[in-house]
């Protein structure tokens, strides 16, 4: 399974915020709020062999840990999606944007555990079988 680097994640974050039309995103591209959280989530997640466990860990860890000054939920969902897509099965999240947004907001607000995120990911994902 392909591993992420902190630098790669920061590059994705920059792209996400540069593509945003939200005024509050301006000037915060790649700006870390808690760098140690990003380091921990990325390093620890690279040890998971199951892609759903890994995706859930990343999504939960970044959405609740606020590694970045802005865009934590967006980068968390993107990375979880990439973890699943980069598997041999090319798992793809099939839920609608509204459901995805609701799930990530619930995670960020402490309403969903990592295990609940993993269960949700398994339920809304299809792969090339």
**CATH code matching the domain that covers 6-126, chosen among 3.40.50.720, 1.20.120.1870, 3.10.20.30, 3.20.20.70:** 1.20.120.1870
CA–CA gap between residue 95 and residue 71 (Å, rounded): 20
Mean pLDDT, to the nearest integer, of 67-75? Answer: 96
In this prediction, what percent of the chain has a pLDDT beyond 70?
99
Q: What is the pLDDT of residue 17?
A: 95
Q: What is the pLDDT of residue 2?
A: 82
- Taking the CA atoms of residue 104, residue 102, residue 105 and residue 73 in that order, the dihedral angle to the nearest 10 degrees is 40
CA–CA gap between residue 40 and residue 38 (Å, rounded): 5
CA–CA gap between residue 26 and residue 35 (Å, rounded): 20
Measured between alpha carbons, how far apart are the two ends of the chain, in Å?
Answer: 17
Q: What is the pLDDT of residue 9?
A: 96
State pLDDT tens for residues 1-55. 789 999 999 999 999 999 999 999 999 999 999 999 999 999 999 999 999 999 9
Mean pLDDT for the chain? Answer: 95
**Residue carrying the six token digits 């295990």:** 115
């Amino acid at each position: 399974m392909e591993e992420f680097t902190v630098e790669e994640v920061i590059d994705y974050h920059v792209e996400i915020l540069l593509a945003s039309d939200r005024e509050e995103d301006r000037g915060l591209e790649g700006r870390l709020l808690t760098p140690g959280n990003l380091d921990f989530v990325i390093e620890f997640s690279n040890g998971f062999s199951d892609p759903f466990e890994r995706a859930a860990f990343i999504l939960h860890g970044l959405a609740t840990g606020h590694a970045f000054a802005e865009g934590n939920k967006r980068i968390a969902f993107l990375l979880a999606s990439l973890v699943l897509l980069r598997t041999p099965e090319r798992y793809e999240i099939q839920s609608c944007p509204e459901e995805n947004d609701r799930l990530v907001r619930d995670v960020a607000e402490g309403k969903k555990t990592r295990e609940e995120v993993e269960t949700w990911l398994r339920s809304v994902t299809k792969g090339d079988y």
